[in-house]
Amino acid sequence: MIEQNTILESNNVILSLKILAREKEIVRRKLAVTAVKLAATAKKLAITAKEKESVRRKLAITAKEKESVRRKLAITAKKLAITAAKLAVTAKEKESVRRRLAITASKLAATAEKLAITAKEKESVRRRLAITAAKLAVTAAKLVVTAAKLAATAEKLAVTAEEKESVRRKLAITAEEKEDVRRKLVITAAELAVTAEEKEDVRRKLVITAAKLALAAEEKESVRRKLAITAEEKEDVRRKLVITAEELKVSYKTLEKKVLERTESLEMARAKEEAILLSIGDGIIATDEKGNIIFINKTAEKLLGKKSKEVLGKFFYEAVVLVDKKGAPIQLENHPVKMALLNKPTTAITGAIYYHLRKNKTIFPVVITATPVMLDGKVIGTIKVFRDVTFEREIDKAKTEFVSLASHQLRTPLSTVSWYAEMLLTEDMGHLNKKQKKYLGAVYSSNQRMVELVNALLDVSSLELGTFVIEPEQTDICKLTENVIHEQRPQIDAKKMVFSFSCDEKISLVQADPKLLHMVMQNILSNAVKYTPEGGKIDFSISLTDLPSHKTLKGQNTKNILLKISDTGYGIPKNQQDKIFTKLFRADNVLDKDTDGTGLGLYIVKSIVENSGGKVWFTSSEVEKNKGTTFFVSLPFNEIEKVNVL
């Protein structure tokens, strides 16, 4: 009872420590993310402050330029007002001229009409004159005829030749004069017609000019009005610019005040967060995306015995050395920080137990959690949190030693009870009735379960204390497996299971510890039998594979023995699969299926396999029916030296 209470108290302490570590990790992650966000915000605010100062200067220059423009616009507006006034006067004068021209045009049109009438009258006169000239020409012709008749008459009348000649000449002169008068009348009539056409053309031009002058006056009036509107708009724009400049000035002052307040707030928050990080009880080391150390808190400095100036800016693998329990450096690809730099954003790399090398070359055990720091989907660094677990290891060691001692002390009386119960059941000490046999059988079964529990506790204690020795020898692994199956055959047959076994013919004798290998197979197979319902199926196969084992060096193609045990059982809940190899753990979905389990079998299996240079893993589905669980054990197919399991 005292032992159980001690175990429960120890487990409670461990659970509390784990919960505290998780809470600290959550706080650390939030602080890391907040620090990154604050740094980015501070940079943005600094840039914004510079940009706003530049904008303020530009606005000041723009305000001056706008004031200069406003003054020029005011002067221009005055000039435009004067010009508009002049244009108004000019427009009035032009309107007066236009009206006068319109009157003149009207008069010219009347004159043109009169001239047209005169031209018509002159044309009529010309025609009459032409008719008269024609008549005169006819008369002249008649006169010529008359002259001829007169000449004849003169001759007849015996007028003297001189008189006749004189009369003829006079008549001829009179005819020429009349012809000349006719020609002159024709020319005058033509000239009068031309003058009438020219006057009509002049009248039309004057009408067109008057229309153009009227249009120009309207256009000038429109221009004057537009200039007046433009001056008003420019004045309105100037006033708006002045108001805008004042508003910008006020906004700039307000913004500058807010920026200062925000900067002070950010600086205060950053100082607080830095103080918190420096004061956290766990060691904290932050790196950039290249793995160079950019932050180390006081606790880490104290644990490592190094000052911040000795490690800042250096590569984490060289500045802070991480070793295993034997003092050998952890390979870079297996280092938690390196895995965090290469891992998915949501994954935290949590190691079991590592050892840090102090400045004075001593080592101390630590539990490490390395988490990538993400920004915009990219890894920009890591946060490594580690804690000295020397005290916890000492407590675990003391607890393990106590369990080992108690188990050894229990083994002797349990063995005695087992022997005597067996003797009684075989009736070596006398005949027993059915009721006595029933009760004695229950005593024997309960004692056997206690023996199994004590043996498991002793195995765990030996593993943790480093007293468990691996003694490899030539072993027929196929025959060893058949023996394990034979031990489980009664339970398999009782549950009417379909069982199959196959072993690769290429596997003959191998170097292995038969006792430990038997323990590994027995634990996994017994779990498969326990947690598979009646009528289920179990497949057990052994083969050679090229899959790398746990400690196979990179680049090697060493053959490995692969043990595969699959069942159609209840499966393992997904949210508990990461705990399946821990001590005293049993999944929730099988607690009511089998009450005899100790929760130590798979912990022992993992410890034995990994310390033998192998690897154990599984796949399981609780949701899909008949999928069950498949366990894989990979062991190196080569000679194993005699070693202790530490």
Q: Which CATH superfamily is domain 281-388 in?
A: PAS domain (3.30.450.20)
Q: Is residue 52 very low, low, confident or very high in pLDDT (cuts 50, 70, 90)?
A: low
Residue with more model confidence, 87 or 511: 511
Is the separation of the CB atoms in 25 and 369 below 8 Å?
A: yes
Per-residue pLDDT at 525: 92
Contacts of 251 (CB under 8 A, 6+ apart): none
Average pLDDT over residues 173-184: 73
Scanning 495-579, the segments in alpha helix (DSSP H) are 514-530
Per-residue pLDDT at 262: 86
Average pLDDT, the chain: 76
pLDDT in tens, 104-122: 656 655 655 665 566 566 6
Q: Is residue 595 very low, low, confident or very high in pLDDT (cuts 50, 70, 90)?
A: low
Measure the CA–CA gap between 548 and 542, rounded to whole angstroms.
Answer: 16
What DSSP string runs through 387-424?
EE-HHHHHHHHHHHHHHHHHHHHHHHHHHHHHHHHHHH
- Among 28-37, 278-287, 297-306, the range scoring the smallest mean pLDDT is 28-37
Query: What percentage of residues in the chain have a pLDDT greater than 70?
Result: 65
Residue with more model confidence, 406 or 19: 19
User: Which two three-digit tokens encode residue 363?
Assistant: 């080592």
Q: Give the residue from 519, 515, 517, 513 showing the smallest Cα distance to 473.
A: 513
Query: What percentage of residues in the chain have a pLDDT greater than 90?
Result: 9
pLDDT in tens, 357-397: 888 888 888 988 888 988 888 889 999 999 888 887 777 67
Average pLDDT over residues 287-316: 90
Average pLDDT over residues 82-104: 65
Measure the CA–CA gap between 387 and 303, rounded to whole angstroms.
Answer: 9
- Among 206-210, 214-218, 244-248, 546-550, the range scoring the smallest mean pLDDT is 546-550
Strand order of the β-sheet with 560-567 is: 498-503, 537-545, 560-567, 629-636, 615-620
Which H/E stretch holds residue 560? strand 560-567
Average pLDDT over residues 432-436: 84
Which segments of 228-311 are extended strands (E)? 283-288, 293-296
- Equal CATH topology for 281-388 and 466-645: no
Collapsed DSSP state (helix, strand, coil) of residue 126:
helix
Is the separation of the CB atoms in 493 and 531 below 8 Å?
A: no
Measure the CA–CA gap between 386 and 398, rounded to whole angstroms.
Answer: 23
Per-residue pLDDT at 564: 93
Collapsed DSSP state (helix, strand, coil) of residue 137:
helix
Is the separation of the CB atoms in 644 and 470 below 8 Å?
A: yes
Measure the CA–CA gap between 288 and 579, rounded to whole angstroms.
Answer: 32
- Tally of residues, the chain: 646
Per-residue pLDDT at 516: 83
- Among 37-46, 247-256, 261-270, the range scoring the smallest mean pLDDT is 37-46
Q: Is residue 492 very low, low, confident or very high in pLDDT (cuts 50, 70, 90)?
A: very high
The pLDDT of residue 548 is above 60 = no
Residue with more model confidence, 304 or 586: 304
The pLDDT of residue 552 is above 50 = no
Measure the CA–CA gap between 329 and 356, rounded to whole angstroms.
Answer: 10
Per-residue pLDDT at 209: 76
User: Which two three-digit tokens encode residue 303?
Assistant: 């644990």
Measure the CA–CA gap between 2 and 131, rounded to whole angstroms.
Answer: 167
The DSSP bridge partners found for residue 509 are 476
User: Which two three-digit tokens encode residue 80?
Assistant: 């435009």
Per-residue pLDDT at 560: 85
Count of Cβ atoms closer than 10 Å to residue 469 Cβ: 13
Q: Which CATH superfamily is domain 466-645 in?
A: Histidine kinase-like ATPase, C-terminal domain (3.30.565.10)
Is the separation of the CB atoms in 288 and 381 below 8 Å?
A: yes
Q: Is residue 500 very low, low, confident or very high in pLDDT (cuts 50, 70, 90)?
A: very high
The pLDDT of residue 606 is above 60 = yes
User: Which two three-digit tokens encode residue 192?
Assistant: 């009068």
Domain residue spans of the chain: 2-276, 281-388, 466-645
Per-residue pLDDT at 347: 44
Collapsed DSSP state (helix, strand, coil) of residue 515:
helix
Tell me the longest C-alpha to C-alpha distance in the chain: 225
Measure the CA–CA gap between 340 and 460, rounded to whole angstroms.
Answer: 31
Angle between helices 601-611 and 434-465 (to 10 degrees): 40
Q: What is the DSSP-derived secondary structure letter of residue 128?
A: H
The pLDDT of residue 288 is above 60 = yes
The pLDDT of residue 136 is above 80 = no
Contacts of 476 (CB under 8 A, 6+ apart): 508, 509
User: Which two three-digit tokens encode residue 460?
Assistant: 């765990």
Is the separation of the CB atoms in 374 and 345 below 8 Å?
A: yes
Average pLDDT over residues 153-165: 56
Residue with more model confidence, 376 or 79: 376
